[in-house]
């Protein structure tokens, strides 16, 4: 779409005191209207069943029209391999309105940030919104500086609020938003220290406010992105913290995206409530599963997807992991190893998700969240 090459970074100050704002250089063109994203037929009818305790966003005068839609993609852990090139080529062919890079970008040496940015833009175009979030390889500068990456792959989405590539959110489409994407950096070490999202911390409160603000504004969908997951069948523990996981599940965020683990894994729809006070780390409780199939009711729980499949060498899925029961799909070495990205097609009544292959094997995953008519 032509609007991708026309958007600007509208400065939005972070509600967390003392943090920097988005610093994308201005463009002479204006950001797009919602009409630029309003194409195609009406979405399929929503499911008619209802579940107790659904999160119900309020109706507002500015609610999106039934035909409004937005197309987003996301992945993490790239490098500059042949597989990375395949993923970027597939991304360029996908028609995505914006891509969210979930951290661990070049895996190169400090000083090579601009070269890696050119590796991306030569395949996607300079104006494509390739929106960054720090990973542990660039938050601490070990494989380049996240600020230098952000300088050559700046924020190209209007209306971003927060500190780009560190902690920010953006509503899409801008004039009548369907989805708020909230990007946070739990457990990462920056020059000012390790960022905590423990309950009671300022960053925990900022995240809660960003989620609640979307609901107050009548935005239909909330997606949260962070580099490091909590639940995982990979090699790492819950470095993002159990408090943040509890916050996201208790508020029934629709989807949580992450990278860090060099594999793909996606949970069932998880919930907290009767029989499940918390989704605990290191064990499995069937009572914490709201839905295990591929057609789910929005507002009933939260789906977590780790998409560390951007191009760096994949790793094995630990199928004997004690959290295995929470997961519905997974891919890594020894299990249809496939590079690719998460693809989100969002309308007012439906969030349709698929894993799109860029290189490697033939793994696929797809599912849908639908709102009931009363939502």
Is there a contact between 361 and 338 (Cβ–Cβ < 8 Å)?
yes
Whole-number pLDDT of residue 66: 61
Whole-number pLDDT of residue 35: 31
CATH number for the domain harbouring residue 292: 3.60.21.10
Return the DSSP state at 37.
Answer: G
pLDDT per residue as tens digits for the range 155-178: 999 899 999 999 999 999 988 899
Per the domain annotation, does 375 fall within a domain? no
Number of separate helices (H) and strands (E) present in the chain: 6, 19
CA distance 25 to 48: 46
> CB-based contacts of 320: which residues, under 8 Å, 6+ apart?
none
DSSP string, 299-341: TS-BEEEEE--SSSPP-B--TT-TTGGGEEEEEBBTB--EEEE
Per the domain annotation, does 33 fall within a domain? yes
- How high is the mean pLDDT of the chain? 86
Whole-number pLDDT of residue 41: 31
Beta bridge partners of 182: 169, 224
Look up tokens 């009409």; give the residue. 35
Is residue 213 predicted with pLDDT exceeding 70?
yes
Range of the domain at 207: 2-370
Q: Which of 15-29, 79-93, 161-175, 203-217 has the lowest mean pLDDT?
A: 15-29
Q: Residue 84 region, left (φ>0) first, then alpha (ψ -120 to 50), else beta? A: alpha
pLDDT per residue as tens digits for the range 58-72: 444 345 566 689 999
Per the domain annotation, does 306 fall within a domain? yes
pLDDT per residue as tens digits for the range 180-190: 999 999 999 99
Number of domain units in the chain: 1
pLDDT per residue as tens digits for the range 219-260: 999 999 999 999 999 999 999 999 999 999 999 999 999 999
Per the domain annotation, does 234 fall within a domain? yes
The stretch 115-141 carries a mean pLDDT of 98
Q: Which of 27-31, 286-290, 323-327, 344-348 has the lowest mean pLDDT?
A: 27-31
């Amino acid at each position: 779409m032509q609007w991708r090459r026309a958007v600007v970074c509208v400065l939005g100050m972070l509600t967390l005191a003392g943090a920097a704002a988005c610093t994308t250089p201005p463009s002479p063109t204006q950001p797009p209207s919602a009409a630029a994203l309003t194409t195609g037929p009406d979405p399929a009818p929503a499911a008619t069943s209802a579940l107790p305790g659904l999160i119900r966003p309020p109706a507002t005068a500015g609610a999106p029209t039934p035909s409004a839609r937005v197309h987003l993609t996301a992945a993490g852990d790239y490098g500059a391999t042949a597989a990375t090139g395949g993923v970027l080529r597939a991304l360029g062919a996908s028609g995505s309105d914006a891509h969210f890079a979930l951290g661990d970008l070049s895996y190169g040496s400090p000083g090579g940030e601009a070269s890696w940015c050119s590796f991306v833009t030569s395949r996607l175009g300079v104006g494509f919104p390739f929106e960054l979030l720090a990973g542990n390889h660039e938050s601490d500068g070990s494989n380049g500086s996240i600020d230098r990456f952000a300088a050559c792959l700046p924020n190209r989405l209007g209306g971003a609020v927060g500190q780009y590539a560190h902690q920010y959110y953006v509503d899409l489409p801008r004039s009548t938003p369907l989805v708020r994407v909230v990007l946070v950096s739990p457990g990462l070490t920056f020059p000012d220290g390790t960022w905590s999202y423990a309950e009671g911390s300022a960053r925990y409160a900022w995240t809660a406010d960003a989620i609640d603000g979307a609901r107050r504004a009548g935005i239909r969908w909330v997606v949260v992105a962070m580099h490091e997951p909590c639940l995982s069948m990979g090699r790492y523990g819950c470095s993002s913290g159990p408090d943040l996981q509890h916050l996201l599940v208790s508020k029934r965020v629709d989807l949580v995206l992450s990278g860090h683990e060099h594999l793909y894994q996606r949970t069932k729809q998880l919930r907290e409530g009767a029989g499940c006070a918390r989704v605990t780390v290191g064990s499995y409780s069937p009572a914490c599963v709201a839905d295990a199939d591929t057609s789910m009711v929005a507002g009933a729980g939260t789906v977590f997807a780790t998409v560390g499949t951007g191009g760096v060498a994949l790793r094995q899925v630990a199928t004997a992991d004690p959290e295995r029961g929470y997961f519905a799909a997974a891919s890594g070495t020894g299990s249809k190893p496939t590079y690719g990205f998460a693809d989100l097609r969002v309308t007012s009544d439906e969030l349709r998700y698929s894993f799109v292959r860029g290189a490697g094997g033939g793994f696929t995953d797809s599912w849908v969240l639908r709102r009931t008519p009363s939502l």
